[in-house]
Amino acid sequence: MSDRYYSDLRALCCIIDRGSFVAAARELCVSRSTLSETIRRLENFVGVQLLNRTTRSVSPTPAGERLAARFGVAFEEIGAAISEAGAMGGEIAGPVRVHAQRLGYELFLKSLLPDFVRRFPRISVEVQIDDAGLDIVHERFDVGIRLGEMLDQDAIAFPLQPGLRQIAVAAPSYLNQHGVPLHPRELRDHLCIGFRWPGHAALYNWEFCENGVWFSVAVSGPLTFNDQRAALDAAVAGAGIALWVESEVQPLIEAGHLVPLLTEYSAAFPGFALYYPPHRHRSTAVKTFIAAVRGAKKP
């Protein structure tokens, strides 16, 4: 294949990743019309339509999605080979793409990254921080940090902590006005501060455990966030009951800002884990990053 079609395939992947010709053209530093001509040329070359185009959106056809996925794997292999060739010169180099849930980043990457890039100045680490349950293979991330119960079944995972538990909390002022719930099902009669996982239409149902059996409670209230720290701020202000990881709310409890509730119904679940896809070549840079996270002192 000529260099031209290699560039065309990279353009196709960029359009699919960004979801639009405009965003892809901006990233590739070309005009939208040039990018459109690139895709037309590529479609003529392979003999099939690769993208569905409307005035408002663009999405891959099955053929386009398959072609982009296979090229993405090949492109990663090329990048890894270049990185390893550079590493043979004595200094480890190359890119590492990381996806981390917000709390996972704060617990395991925030303090590690500055020292890591000082030790390995030729490794470039790109970190995407959000709570979306995305597919790191499809999105071409090298590694991820996610709660253990949310891992892909075929992922290679290394637990970073023994376990977590969530507890319900409320400000003394709220409890003085609305009373104290004695069972999780009584939360339905309280003002609860909701949480919505990114990419999910429904609100997160709060999970509890009774006599070894897990159950969930659909809560409601006037406030909903996609960030648990914002929910805690609202709870401290007396706006309602919030639910979050015990270690994160403990300082607020010790300071008297929040009161723990229903703790006898809170049980441990798998904590955060470092994970990465199986059956993929991992560059020396990625292996070095994995080793650093695994070897770091845990909070």
CB 145 within 8 A of CB 109: yes
Q: Tell how many helices (H) and how many strands (E) occur in the chain.
A: 10, 14
* Two tokens, residue 260: 């723990």
Indicate the SS3 state at residue 258: coil
Token pair of 184, please? 């999780």
pLDDT in the model for residue 108:
94
Q: Count Cβ atoms below 10 Å from residue 64 Cβ, excluding itself.
A: 24
Torsion of CA 139, 17, 228, 160, to 10 degrees: 20
Examine the pLDDT at 72 and tell me if it is beyond 90: no
Helices (H), 161-279: 172-178, 228-236, 246-254
Q: What pLDDT does residue 258 have? A: 98
Question: Nearest CA to 264 among 226, 218, 209, 199?
Answer: 209
H or E, element range at 127: strand 123-129
Domains assigned to the chain: 1-84 (1.10.10.10), 91-160+271-295 (3.40.190.10), 164-269 (3.40.190.290)
Residue type (1 letter), 52: N
Q: Which pLDDT band holds residue 57 (cuts at 50, 70, 90)? A: confident
- How far are the Cα atoms of 41, 119, 164, 171, 274 from residue 150, in angstroms, in the given order? 41, 32, 13, 30, 12
For residues 237 and 231, the answer to whether their CB atoms sit within 8 Å is: no
- 96-120 pLDDT, tens digit per residue, is 999 999 999 999 999 999 999 999 9
Report the distance separating Cα 163 and Cα 255, nearest Å: 24
Percent of all residues in the chain with a pLDDT value above 70, rounded to a whole number: 90
Amino acid occupying residue 35:
L
Model confidence over 125-183: pLDDT tens digits? 999 998 887 888 878 899 999 988 788 777 888 899 888 899 999 999 999 999 999 99
Average model confidence (pLDDT) for the chain? 87
Are 25 and 32 within 8 A, CB to CB? yes
Tell me which residue has tokens 């896809």.
Answer: 277
Q: 27 to each of 23, 30, 43, 70, 204, how far by Cα in Å? A: 6, 8, 21, 21, 35
Task: Show the 3-state SS of 192-222.
Answer: ECEECCCCCCCCCCEEEEECCEEEEECCCCC
